[in-house]
Structure 1
Amino acid sequence: MVTAPPRRLALLGGGFSTDDDRLLDGWLLGHARAGRPKVCFVPTASGDAPAYIEKFRAAFGPDDCEPGVLALFQRELSDDELRTFLLAQDVVYVGGGNTANLLAVWRTHGVDRLLGEAHDRGTLLCGISAGANCWAQGSHTDSFGPLTSLPDGLGLLPGSVCPHYDGEPGRRSSYLAAVASGALPAGWALEDGVGALFADGALAEAVTRAPRARLFRVEPDGQGGAVERAVPCRLLTEAQ
């Protein structure tokens, strides 16, 4: 009997776009299913910003992986080529930007369905900010300007996600209120610097590149409020 590979997701509170030490990216690549993995950067949430793509190419060189980029605003691949390309990736790394726009563009091109298929086949899906939000059932976002709830993710990770929990004013209180009111289901809040790996929907590992950065599980308290529980995180170091 063939055993199905675990369906894995990683939420990143940093990486090549924000950090010089590359600790979170190194940790991420260590969980790829191949020693020299194929890593596809998906910059949809930033509108395929050229500077973002160049930053990825500078960070992910051929010594570490086989880097690739999926651009959708000037798409060149046919439907069959797009499916073949995505299913061949070991890691799909989604950049930050506008979560709502990201989801709309993906659905237009059928990328949402293909990522679900890749997930089932063992591709490690991950991302920062909007690239973390997109995988859950719902998320906390500034896609529409003010901070608000977006109960419209891909649903590959149960519950909700809130990025930048300590990095942007109002994030913490707004997300707690959303979970308390039921606007968003219980979920995960990431402070900047944290990485969280999930296997088949369950938290498998939590790490941090910053000693004080934390991951929180946020749930309704049953009395009209919400409670947050800090999850222990292993500190990453250069030696690792």
Structure 2
Amino acid sequence: MGRIVAIGGGELDITHRINEYIVKLAGKKNPNFLFIGTASHDAEGYITGIKNEFESLGCSVSALRLTTETYTDEEINSILNLADIIYVGGGDTSFMMDTWKKYGLDEKLKQIYYNDQAVLSGLSAGAICWFSCGHSDSSIFEVDGQVGYGWVNGLLEIFPYTFCPHYNERGEILDSMIGEQTSPCLALDNNVAFVDQDGCISYVTSDNSSKAYVLNYVDGMLKKQEQKVDKI
């Protein structure tokens, strides 16, 4: 079993302490850090922000640009094998998963987890991907150009939960939709991370207000259980 840090959301300056935590989890002085920005269509501004943040934390940073560059299977394997940390960026979850499947990247990332080859991490769409189903505002849910919400399936399914990021922003929307799901839903505020270390689950944040919840719909009633979140 491996290591995963799935962040509920937040800009890089807000999640800085969690980013430090990710780097420390790698256990190396100058870890190789790989950013996968597929969900943002490999937006260069996003890549630059990630590069600046994690280089400041002592990492050697590179990016896998599946939407703007062409790779052979051997090249992708080589890039992944060099990584001590893999961080998946936010954006369009549905588009990201469709793109990954063209390259077999979904299965490659699962094997990295099960072999504990690197710290796997990500934010928003990059957190959703590790679960069985995600609450998402992917473009496929837009209605007349307006943001819409729905469920994205076909994820990596490492954890048997539905996942919702940005719960502090979309809590009412999720609460109204959760009855459509049969599996428990893990809902994280911005600046909260779900952490899995070899099967041991915890939650971390750098502030005093961000929260994590497990939601279930039982006998027609929404049940919401707040989880213990450790401040780092």
**After TM superposition, is the score higher than 0.5?**
yes
Indicate the residue corresponding to 2:205 in structure 1.
208
- Within 2, Cα distance between the matches of 1:138 and 1:231? 20
Root-mean-square deviation (Å): 1.9
- Within 2, Cα distance between the matches of 1:179 and 1:210? 27
Query: What letter corresponds to residue 219 of structure 1 in structure 2?
Result: N
Asked if 1:232 is matched to 2:228, the reply is: yes
Distance 1:180 1:75, change over 3 A: same
Asked if 1:93 is matched to 2:90, the reply is: no
CA contact (8 A) 1:135 1:153 kept: yes
Indicate the residue corresponding to 2:152 in structure 1.
150
Query: What letter corresponds to residue 26 of structure 2 in structure 1?
Result: A
Indicate the residue corresponding to 1:126 in structure 2.
121
Asked if 1:24 is matched to 2:18, the reply is: yes
Identity, in percent, stands at: 27
Deviation at 1:152, TM superposition (A): 2.6
The structure with the greater share of residues assigned to helix is 2
Distance 1:63 1:181, change over 3 A: closer
Task: Name structure 2 gaps, 5 residues minimum.
Answer: 143-147
Indicate the SS of the match to 2:25.
Answer: coil
Give the alignment partner of residue 59 of structure 2, picking from 43, 57, 65.
65
Residues 171-190 of structure 1 mapped to structure 2, 5 A cutoff: 171-182=170-181, 185-190=183-188
Indicate the residue corresponding to 1:74 in structure 2.
68
- Within 2, Cα distance between the matches of 1:23 and 1:14? 13
Distance 1:132 1:20, change over 3 A: closer
Indicate the SS of the match to 1:29.
Answer: helix
Query: What letter corresponds to residue 228 of structure 1 in structure 2?
Result: K
Deviation at 1:28, TM superposition (A): 1.4
Residues 26-45 of structure 1 mapped to structure 2, 5 A cutoff: 26-45=20-39
Answer with 194-203 or 138-147: which moved more: 194-203
Indicate the residue corresponding to 1:52 in structure 2.
46
Deviation string 1:94-121 (CA, Å, 9 cap, x unpaired) is 1110000000000011111111111122
Aligned pairs, number: 224
CA contact (8 A) 1:216 1:229 kept: yes
Distance 1:158 1:200, change over 3 A: farther
Give the alignment partner of residue 135 of structure 1, picking from 130, 139, 146.
130
- Within 1, Cα distance between the matches of 2:12 and 2:188? 15
Distance 1:61 1:41, change over 3 A: same
Indicate the residue corresponding to 1:102 in structure 2.
96
- Within 2, Cα distance between the matches of 1:116 and 1:190? 22
TM-score (norm 1): 0.86
Which 4+ stretches in 1 moved above 6 angstroms? none
Query: What letter corresponds to residue 132 of structure 1 in structure 2?
Result: A
Indicate the residue corresponding to 2:5 in structure 1.
10
